[in-house]
Structures are given as C-alpha cells and as structure tokens.
Amino acid sequence: MQRPLDEAITARLQELDARGLRRTLLPLGLDEPGRAALDGRSYLDFGSNDYLALASAPLEWESLATIPTGARASRLVTGNLSPHMAAERALAELVGLPSALLFTSGYATNVGALPALVGPGDHVFSDELNHASLIDGCRLSRAHIHRFPHNDLQALELALAAAPPSGHRLVVTEAVFSMEGDRAPLEQLRALTERHGAWLMVDEAHSVGVLGRRGRGLCHEAGVTPEVLIGTLGKAFGAMGAFVAGSSRLRELLFHRARSVVFSTGISPLMAEIVSRRTLQVLEADEARAHQAALATQLATGLQRLGLEVRGTGPIVTAVFGTPQGAVEAETRLREAGILARAIRPPTVPEGTSRVRLVPTAAHSSADIDRLLGAIA
C-alpha cells in the first residue's frame, strides 16, 4: 500500500540530511547594499549576484506611477505593451544584436528557447557544466544531446565530426559559468561552429552588464556574434526577467514556438520600464564594474594565499571545500563572523567539489574583502 505523501517526503528529507544535502531558506530582511539582515543582525552579503549594486539603486518612482504592474495577458493576446518593446530595443542595442525578446526569468528563457530552436532529429552539443536551465531546455527539445567535457574544444570538435550530418546542430555554452566562475573560449567556439556548420548559443547571464566594454558582455568584447544570446536581468541589472537576443527572424520564431512566452502572461510592464532605465545605468557603470573586478581579484588572490582551491576570478569566485559537510561548516563559521555566503553542494556541482560561492559587489569595499579573508583564515 502506498505511504501517505508527507511520510514519503519525510523519508526523502531524512536521506538528504544523512548526505549533508538538505537546504534551508534564509528569512532575510532588507538592508543597505552589500549587506543583508537576518534575525535582527546585519551581515556582509557575499551570496548575491547584485554585481553592480543596482538592485537597491533609487528610481524616480513618481514617473513610474502610471505604468501598470501587470501585463494582463500573454504577449500574443493583449499583453504586448510599449514598455516591453522599449526594453527589448534597449537590450538588443546593448549587446549589439538586431532584436531581443523578454522572458519572465532566465530559467523560462532557456527551457523556452531551446525546444523552439531544435527538436527530434537535431543535435545539441552542451558543455557538461552548463546551468540546469540549459540542461532542462536541451532535454525538453528531444534533440539528441552530446555532452562534452567542460571547455574541452578537442572533445567538442570530435563530437561535431562524429555526429550524423542530418538535422540541425546547436552548440550551447555559458559565457561565465555560474558555479565555476570561469569563462568559455568564445572565439574558438565560434570558429568550431562555423567549421562544422553549427549554430552557437551563449548564455551571458553572469557577464552581460558586468563584463565587457560598457557592460555589453563577453561576446561583444570578443567580437563573437552567436546566433542566440541569452541575458538575465536579475543579476547585474538588479531587476527581474531575462531576454534572448539575435536576429529579427529569431525573435519572431520564439514568440511562435517558445512555450514559456506563448503560454505565459507577459513580464510586468512596470518591470520592463525599470529594465529600460537600468540598461542606461549599466552603460554608465564603468566605475562600478572596475571596482567589482578589483575586489574579485583581491579575493581570489587572498584565497589562494590561504592555500584553498580557488575557481573563478570574477565576477564569481569560489572556494572549494570538497565535501558537503565541509562547505556547510564553512558557511556556518562565516555566519558566526557576520558574513553571509552559501554552501553549494551536489547536484548543483559535481560530487567532491562542494564549495562556498563568493561574489563581491560594487557596494563592498577592500576592507570588506579583508574581513572575509580573515574570517576564512
């Protein structure tokens, strides 16, 4: 006889406990940029992705008072409003591509875009450390998936050469990998895809806004034009949502075929207007970008001096502790020192590489990095 649902859930949670993988939500309160409030105490926050400290940047709210909070319908019905289109034009111009289409989140973007582009009979070549949203988008496409070792160009070329010639081919990568903090070799990937007749899809979630000249991202900096570029707005932009950029034909295909657009209420027009304003702020944020990069370098150098295994140099830096228990203890010790940074454990990262992911923001100071390093020491 089947067990009651809560009893079955309890057994699963106990299993996670035994493996050191049970997670908790922190009931955080609002605080000043670079900090978070928890249980009446203010902590240095090194766990956010608010790279440019724009999430708390002031806006002229009076000028936003007449903009609706809700789109009221799907974009394809009556939910396609002028703030959406203005934000899409601004984002396309930022990354130097002809068109863009807004989605409600980065996850919705990838699980919508990939099945719209490829399907049964096609071939997707995906870096093994790609984000879960890219992995799930590949699976939902029902294309044949070829996973290649992380940033291994030789393995990718062999896979492209060995794949059947029929069907479309799509190579999928992040620009900055969200948990490793390292970067994809974009120029070499572009050369490979051109040589083997494949399309290139680059997820710039952790690079657009914070890296590249004026925050235009790593593709723009490298002179690489992917067929599909993904950007998110909840990180460097301090807002919410995400977008796909590419040709005008790509945009049109997505609002026909991307189910997470077709069957979803449009992103809030108020948020779309905020995105337009944030895009202007991102373009003018060179000082904040340089400061964040300097702090990330200071942190990575300091961690290496402490003898830790360090991955990433910016904007993300990770200190690897190996076991889930080791990473959780590091998180606990840091919290006792007044610092918030979360342990990242399987299945988010591979077994044996549990870590604490550390993100300096433009709101932090060099003294804050020294305090963090002192606590880790």
Cβ neighbours, 10 Å, residue 33? 18
> What percent of the chain shows pLDDT beyond 90?
93
- What are the residues whose beta carbons fall under 8 Å from the beta carbon of 299, sequence distance 6 or more? 317, 358, 360, 369, 372, 373
Q: Is the pLDDT of residue 62 over 90?
A: no
Dihedral, CA of residue 324, residue 53, residue 276 and residue 214, to nearest 10: -100
Q: Is 251 exposed, middle or buried (0-12, 13-18, 19+ CB in 10 A)?
A: buried
DSSP at 171: E
Mean of pLDDT values over 72-79: 95
The neighbouring-strand residues paired with 133 are: none
Q: Is the pLDDT of residue 309 over 90?
A: yes
Provide the pLDDT for residue 221: 96
Distances, alpha carbon 342 to alpha carbons 46, 180, 244, in Å = 8, 15, 29
3 state SS of 124 = strand
Which one of 50, 203, 204, 331 is the catalytic residue?
203
**What digits encode the pLDDT tens for the residues 200-249?**
999 999 999 999 999 999 999 999 999 999 999 999 999 999 999 999 99
- What are the residues whose beta carbons fall under 8 Å from the beta carbon of 108, sequence distance 6 or more? 242, 260, 264
Answer yes or no: are the C-beta atoms of 357 and 344 closer than 8 Å: yes
Is 174 among the residues known to form the active site?
Answer: yes
The better pLDDT of the pair 126, 19 is held by 126
- The string of DSSP letters for 64-96 reads GTTS-S---SBTTTT---HHHHHHHHHHHHHHT
Q: Is the pLDDT of residue 2 over 90?
A: no
Is 206 among the residues known to form the active site?
Answer: yes
- What are the residues whose beta carbons fall under 8 Å from the beta carbon of 242, sequence distance 6 or more? 102, 103, 104, 105, 106, 108, 109, 205, 230, 231, 232, 233, 234
Provide the pLDDT for residue 5: 95
The better pLDDT of the pair 352, 63 is held by 352
Q: Is the pLDDT of residue 54 over 90?
A: yes
Q: Name the residue ranges covered by the structural domains of the chain.
A: 24-54+286-376, 61-283
Provide the pLDDT for residue 58: 86
Answer yes or no: are the C-beta atoms of 135 and 128 closer than 8 Å: no
Helix (H), strand (E) at residue 340: strand 339-340
Q: Which range is least confidently modeled, 145-154, 276-285, 306-315? A: 306-315
- Please provide the CATH number assigned to the domain covering 24-54+286-376: 3.90.1150.10
- What are the residues whose beta carbons fall under 8 Å from the beta carbon of 231, sequence distance 6 or more? 91, 95, 204, 205, 208, 209, 217, 242, 243, 245
**What digits encode the pLDDT tens for the residues 288-297?**
999 999 999 9
Which one of 48, 130, 178, 268 is the catalytic residue?
178
Mean pLDDT of the chain: 96
Which one of 50, 174, 273, 331 is the catalytic residue?
174
Which one of 84, 123, 146, 206 is the catalytic residue?
206
Mean of pLDDT values over 259-280: 96
Please report, for the chain, how many H helices and E strands are present, in that order: 13, 14
Q: Is the pLDDT of residue 61 over 90?
A: no
Q: Is the pLDDT of residue 170 over 90?
A: yes
Provide the pLDDT for residue 313: 82
Answer yes or no: are the C-beta atoms of 191 and 180 closer than 8 Å: no
Is 49 among the residues known to form the active site?
Answer: yes
- Asked if 24-54+286-376 and 61-283 have one fold, the answer is no
**What digits encode the pLDDT tens for the residues 7-46?**
999 999 999 999 988 998 999 998 999 999 999 999 999 9
pTM, 2 dp: 0.95
Provide the pLDDT for residue 3: 87
Which one of 84, 123, 146, 235 is the catalytic residue?
235
240 backbone dihedrals φ, ψ, rounded to 5°: -155, 145
- Domain 61-283 class, CATH top level: alpha beta
Range with the largest mean pLDDT of 20-24, 183-187, 310-314? 183-187
Q: Quick one: pLDDT band at residue 367, thresholds 50, 70, 90? A: very high
